[in-house]
Amino acid sequence: MCGLSLVVPPSSVLADETVSEYDIAIDLATMLQSARSIIGGNQDLINDPTLGDKGLSAAVVRERALEKFSAAKGGAMPDLSGDSLKSRLLKAQVDAISKVMTEHQETINQPGIAFKGFVPAVFARLVNEEFKRTMGEEAEVKVTAPPELIRNRKARPDEWEVEAIRNKLSAPDWEKGAIFSAEATGNGRPAFRVLVPEYYSQGCLACHGSPKGELDITGYPKEGGNLGDLGGVISVTLFRK
Ligand code: HEC
């Protein structure tokens, strides 16, 4: 996940209410990408069997994720103490990031083992699961993919995601990197939903590339993906009251 660029929200001309929901969704996607890129950027460190403590405490990762997020947003720090939906969701997400890091200190800091299975995709899924546990009535963040690429069953796309990935993000005339958002249902409830596409960069192909079917370092068969292919999406759902 290290090669990913962060989401830059397009200036849009939507109705006010929609702009702010869109804004919240993009912030949640950006925060997830920011934290995930800290894990990706430290993969060699995490995989180093000669070291014990890697210095990647919950506080350190939280701090660096916030810095990265802030840089992606043009310098402003997110407000994590307000009562607005945006503040509450971002705070819950940052808390989820801290919690996952706290819970994995022993794994990450275990000396004598190189590959510990702690890769960006696993980290992101755990953060999303924790976020859902605390905020699932109001919002969900998920990293999913076209059905034929799904590795972890927990990440399977729902019907709306399958169709939007097929008919929008994978359409030949879809502008690369463009974000898809719509009024839709999620878990049977009215919702505002946003899909941020993610494409394979060179670093992804060690696991998702060729030869198709060969096991990668994590033990999953490679998908045979190519540079620039749509590898997945960050899917954000904001449920309506
Ligand atoms: C070290 C191997 C490795 C690398 C490198 C890697 N991935 Fe993955 N990826 C995985 C594993 C393992 C999973 C399943 C994680 C889990 O248990 O949820 C996964 C899951 C995903 C998923 C979620 C859907 C699913 O299949 O479960 C997406 C999307 C994804 N990867 C895209 C990427 C992209 C894009 C990159 C590069 C920026 C990348 N991956 C780099 C190993 C890797």
Final residue belonging to a domain, choices 135, 166, 200: 135
CB within 8 Å of 137: residues ≥ 6 apart: 239
From CA 131, how far away is CA 112, in angstroms rounded? 32
**Mean pLDDT of the 96-112 span:** 98
> Can you tell me the distance from the alpha carbon of 122 to that of 133, in angstroms, rounded to the nearest whole number?
17
**124 and 61, same structural domain?**
yes
Q: What is the pLDDT of residues 165-203, one digit of tens each?
A: 999 999 999 999 999 999 999 999 999 999 999 999 999
Q: How far apart are CA 188 and CA 107, in angstroms?
A: 38
Residue 4 has a pLDDT of 53
Mutate to test the pocket of ligand 1, among 162, 201, 218 (most ligand atoms within 8 A of CB): 218
CATH, residue 237: 3.30.450
For residue 166, the model assigns a pLDDT of: 98
Candidate of 165, 204, 234 to mutate for ligand 1, largest count of ligand atoms within 8 Å of Cβ: 204
Confidence tier at 3 by pLDDT (50, 70, 90): very low
Same domain for 240 and 173, yes or no, is yes
Per-residue pLDDT reduced to its tens digit, 118-153 = 999 999 999 999 999 999 999 999 999 999 999 999
**Does a structural domain hold residue 164?**
yes
Q: Are residues 86 and 166 in the same domain?
A: no
Average pLDDT over residues 87-103: 98
- What range does the domain containing 178 cover? 138-241
Which atom number of ligand 1 is nearest to the Cα of residue 220?
12
Same domain, yes or no: 164 and 105: no
Residue 19 has pLDDT above 90, yes or no: no
pLDDT at 76: 87
Q: Is residue 10 part of a domain?
A: no
| pLDDT the model gives residue 48 | 98
Please say whether the beta carbons of 122 and 91 come within 8 A: no
Q: Tell me the CA–centroid distance for residue 218 and ligand 1, in Å.
A: 10
Domain total for the chain?
A: 2
* pLDDT at 160 exceeding the cut of 70: yes
